A and B are shown apart, each in its own frame.
Chain A
Amino acid sequence: MDQKTTKQKAVHSILYWGLPVLAVVLIAVGWISFSAFNPELMPSPAQVWERLVKTFTKPIAKTTLFGHAWASLRRVLLALLVSWVFGIAFGILIGWNKKARAFFGSIFEVIRPIPPIAWIPIVIMWFGIGEFPKILLVFIGTFVPLVINTSTGIEMVDRINIQVGQIFGGKNRQILKEIVIPTALPSIFAGIRTSVSSGWTTVLAAEMLGANAGLGSLVTRGWQGSDLSLVMVSVITIAIIGALLSTILQKLEKVVCPWNN
């Protein structure tokens, strides 16, 4: 089981590196042939590339692709900042204080199962389709996972760690600050990660349902104008930015919580 013959090692190498390449090739071939046979359903990779270039030369709604991407990102980031502050604070409150958990937690539990996207119509009715309602929606979408993860993280802190703090004569607030919060940090970070991906999808939904700028609006525009290449360009951009955000957070987590493995 430990030793492999040279031949076995060679076969293993070929499969190990070859299989993913094969998969990628199959995807590419699949795309090209699908678009060749059904040009109205799916643009070819070449067409998508062309469309991408065109967004720079002929901006849509007076903004380039980067402009739209930034519009989306900005909304998310603004909402996230507010959401992080309030969400983590609220999460710590209901995680730490049993009475608060009973009183506010119940209200939260009623709001929680409503998907952020379901808030879109009522928010549009109240605030229209400007910047504020979008940021509000992203806030709603990101607030919930933050609170859940933070409060769970705080609740789960081992009683032992708390008792150690008490033995050393720590006051409640001190224990909270120096023992409980650092222990809950990985959970809080998990909440931050979820909030970012949730925020990214919420902003998209909000934009798809009513906006002039932003990647979601590009998707809708392409869809309604039968400009599938534009839809593809937007979707791919959305995916890339989403993946980048996720990777950045992973790197950040390693720095903030290096002990977490």
Chain B
Amino acid sequence: MNKDKQNLEDQLQLWRQNKKKENLKYVLLSAAGILSVLVIWQLAVVLGLVNERLLPAPTRILNTLIFKINNKAPDGNMLGVNIMASLQVALSGFLAAIVIGVPLGLLMGWWTYADRFIRPIFELIRPVPPIAWIPLVVVWMGVGLKAKALIIFFTAFVPCVINSYTGIKLTSQTLIDVSRTFGAPNYEIFWKVGVPSSLPMVFAGIRVALGNSWSTLVAAEMLAASAGLGYMIQIGRTVARPDIVIVGMVVIGAIGAFLSMLLSRAEKYFLRWKINR
């Protein structure tokens, strides 16, 4: 009996070790992927296969990145200032969209009359691509923080509303019935069943909103701003400095990924009860 148990434990150990080896293999492959791209790139520039004035080498880009941290040239702001400016605009529009959009979507999904009234207004906003709002908002409100935040608001608002609406519409009728037999009034069922049950979809909507916000921010800054990462890229283009442009792109991507990771953390916490069977 003991021999069998020992055998099983040995097998388990072996399986675990193999799993670790496999995972390591994949991690190495991933690193190899990125490294090979960088190496090929660097070689292409060094060997003159690619015009350095169009596509600088990765090493040059790294230099520029470090340079920008403390230098205002050529766009007039240090890197940190640009990052802050972008984040400020993006986050204010994004958070406003969540605070207004999610409750609105939930209410529209639960109460028919709210849906009937707000829907036409919403359907007017929805098909307009966010970037098309830029000229209108700029004419109405200038190029200040409020104007840009409003543009971001429009693009983040739509997925928040749609997903919250869909999420709460999918509330399980069984759970609603359970609450009714306990004698809960409608608003209590909304709050105790509808809202928690819609959270997974709400988070999906917030995730889309985040992507939209960050993307539209870049566009808004390229068209109408004096600071920020989008602005920095635009200036980089006009002074023919591709290294600045690429540094900007990389930083934009990195911050976008970082914000996305923060959202995932929050999602893990709020949805910790959710297990996919």
A residues lining the B interface (CB < 8 Å): 15-16, 19-20, 22-24, 27, 41-42, 98-99, 102-107, 110-122, 124-126, 197, 200-201, 204-205, 208-209, 219-220, 222-223, 228, 231-232, 234-235, 238-240, 242-243, 246
Contacts and interface: CB of A to CB of B under 8 A. Distances in A.
Contacts, number: 154
Given A102-B33, A117-B218, 13 more contacts: A15-B113, A23-B117, A102-B27, A110-B34, A110-B253, A113-B257, A114-B252, A119-B249, A125-B245, A197-B129, A208-B134, A220-B135, A242-B127
Given A107-B33, A209-B223, A23 B118 contact: yes
B28 to A, nearest CB: 8
B240 A125 contact: yes
A246 B127 contact: yes
Contacts of A115: 211, 214-215, 218, 252, 256
A113 B116 contact: no
A246 B236 CA distance: 36
Name which of B29, B119, B256 has the most chain A CB atoms within 10 A of its CB: B29
Contacts of B248: 118
Given A103-B29, A114-B256, A223-B139, A205 B219 contact: yes
Contact of B132 (A15, A20, A118, A238): A238
A235 B30 contact: no
Contacts of A110: 34, 253
A23 B119 contact: yes
A20 B117 contact: yes
A125 B136 contact: no
Contact of A23 (B33, B121, B132, B233): B121
Interface in B84-114: 112-113
B166 interface: no
B132 to A, nearest CB: 5
Given A118-B230, A118-B248, A235 B128 contact: yes
B130 interface: yes
Interface residues of B, number: 60
Nearest to B130: A201
17 contacts: A19-B117, A23-B120, A41-B139, A106-B29, A106-B30, A107-B34, A110-B34, A114-B253, A117-B215, A118-B218, A118-B253, A205-B219, A223-B139, A235-B132, A238-B128, A238-B129, A239-B129
A239 B253 contact: no
Contacts of A124: 237
Contacts of B222: 117, 120-121, 209
Nearest to B276: A156
B49 interface: no
B22 to A, nearest CB: 9
Nearest to B250: A114
B73 interface: no
A24 B223 contact: no
A209 B230 CA distance: 13
B113 A19 contact: yes
Name which of B118, B129, B236 has the most chain A CB atoms within 10 A of its CB: B129
Interface string B42-85: 00000000000011000000000000000000000000000000
A24 B120 contact: yes
Contacts of A111: 253
B56 to A, nearest CB: 11
A1 B219 CA distance: 52
B54 A126 contact: yes
Contacts of B234: 121
Contacts of A242: 127-129
Nearest to A232: B136
Given A114-B256, A122-B246, A200 B129 contact: yes
Nearest first, the 4 A-B pairs at minimum CB distance are A115-B215, A102-B29, A106-B30, A121-B237
